[in-house]
Amino acid sequence: VKAAGLDLGGTNVKVCLLDYGEAPRVVERRSAETHAERGPEAVMDVLAGLAADAIAAAGAVQAVGLGAPGPLDLERGRSLWMPNLPGWNNVPIVAEMEARLGRRVALINDSRALTLAELELGAGRGCRDLVCFALGTGVGGGVVVNGQLLLGLNGTAGELGHQTIDPEGRRCGCGNRGCLEQEASGPAIARAGGRATAEAVLEAARSGDERALAAFERAGAKLGIAIANAVLTVGPDRVVVGGGVAAAGELLLRPAREELVRRDRVQPVERVEVVAATLGSYAGAIGAALWAASRIRT
Ligand SMILES: [Zn+2]
């Protein structure tokens, strides 16, 4: 019994196939360049082509899930806008993908998909209550309560990257000021570290560059404030930090833990683990497959 998970990212689109018997496992991974500049129709063609090939090779796929960035209208199956993909305002993404694939498609926000994947197969395994941060080009998140992914108002629960960290901070793509995303996303770290990308800042930090180290220290501390806010709200067993920026590991997580302890004085925060995600760059696709599988089983 298999489910397919599709992940629509700004740089790459990915597809995975999940065999979800007693212990779900990934049996296939494929990716292609997004070419976001070509617009939604072309991007959906690429993603659907990738998925159709994988599904045809696998046979017997029961469910298809799609993880997409940005605010979505889950009830109507639409993207409202996508911060890092031009031209995706109000695209009926579910209907478009269903037409291309000839199958039902279950839509979920990409960071919520990552959360679900880490909960069931990654760093969040065994947790009853979990908070996840996804740090990449943007910053997303997800919350699990009593073993269930929290959806909230039209699937928007867990938008942890758009909590205000600095009331007078930088203007965010969402329209607010001082969001966590403006402090701890890849572009924010690149800016603070004076390099083209967060990866370049990480490389510099590893060879002892002071400005690069300070950039991670600062981003980690800001992330720690956001973690403290989420921990106060949810009281989770564990906080998982994923996305490309999480490759920085302890450079980011140590200052985040220190800030959590400094900010949250009313909970036993020493019992809250703050750990890196373990599923890597296919977490979103894996989560989308799990989401689709859960939809058809209920
Ligand atoms: Zn924002």
**Chain length of the chain:** 298
**Continuous segment of H or E residues that includes residue 68:** strand 61-68
Helices (H), the chain: 40-58, 93-101, 110-121, 181-184, 186-193, 198-206, 210-234, 250-263, 283-297
Q: Mean per-residue pLDDT for 155-171?
A: 96
Give distance in angstroms: CA of 224 to centre of ligand 1: 17
Q: Is the pLDDT of residue 48 over 60?
A: yes
Strand partners of residue 64: 4
Give distance in angstroms: CA of 223 to centre of ligand 1: 14
Q: Is the pLDDT of residue 151 over 70?
A: yes
Backbone angles phi, psi at 117, to 5 degrees: -65, -45
Give distance in angstroms: CA of 102 to centre of ligand 1: 36
pLDDT for the residue numbered 62: 93
Q: Among residues 33, 38, 62, 37, which one has the least CA distance to residue 50?
A: 33
Helix (H, G, I), strand (E, B), or coil: what is residue 222?
helix
Give distance in angstroms: CA of 180 to centre of ligand 1: 7
CB 177 within 8 A of CB 169: yes
CB 246 within 8 A of CB 199: no
Q: Is the pLDDT of residue 83 over 80?
A: no
pLDDT for the residue numbered 288: 98
pLDDT for the residue numbered 23: 84
Q: Is the pLDDT of residue 171 over 70?
A: yes
Residues 181, 175: Cα–Cα separation, whole Å: 12
Q: Is the pLDDT of residue 70 over 90?
A: no
pLDDT for the residue numbered 297: 62
Q: What is the DSSP string of 52-63?
A: HHHHHHH--EEE
Give distance in angstroms: CA of 174 to centre of ligand 1: 4
Q: Is the pLDDT of residue 205 over 60?
A: yes
Give 153's DSSP letter: G
Q: Is the pLDDT of residue 298 over 70?
A: no
Give distance in angstroms: CA of 161 to centre of ligand 1: 7
Give distance in angstroms: CA of 182 to centre of ligand 1: 7
pLDDT for the residue numbered 262: 98
Give distance in angstroms: CA of 83 to centre of ligand 1: 10
Give distance in angstroms: CA of 164 to centre of ligand 1: 8
> In 10 A of CB 192, how many CB atoms?
20
pLDDT for the residue numbered 296: 76
Q: Among residues 227, 244, 240, 236, which one has the least CA distance to residue 276?
A: 240
Query: pLDDT tens, 177-198?
Result: 999 999 999 999 999 999 999 9
Query: pLDDT tens, 209-268?
Result: 999 999 999 999 999 999 999 999 999 999 999 999 999 999 999 999 999 999 999 999
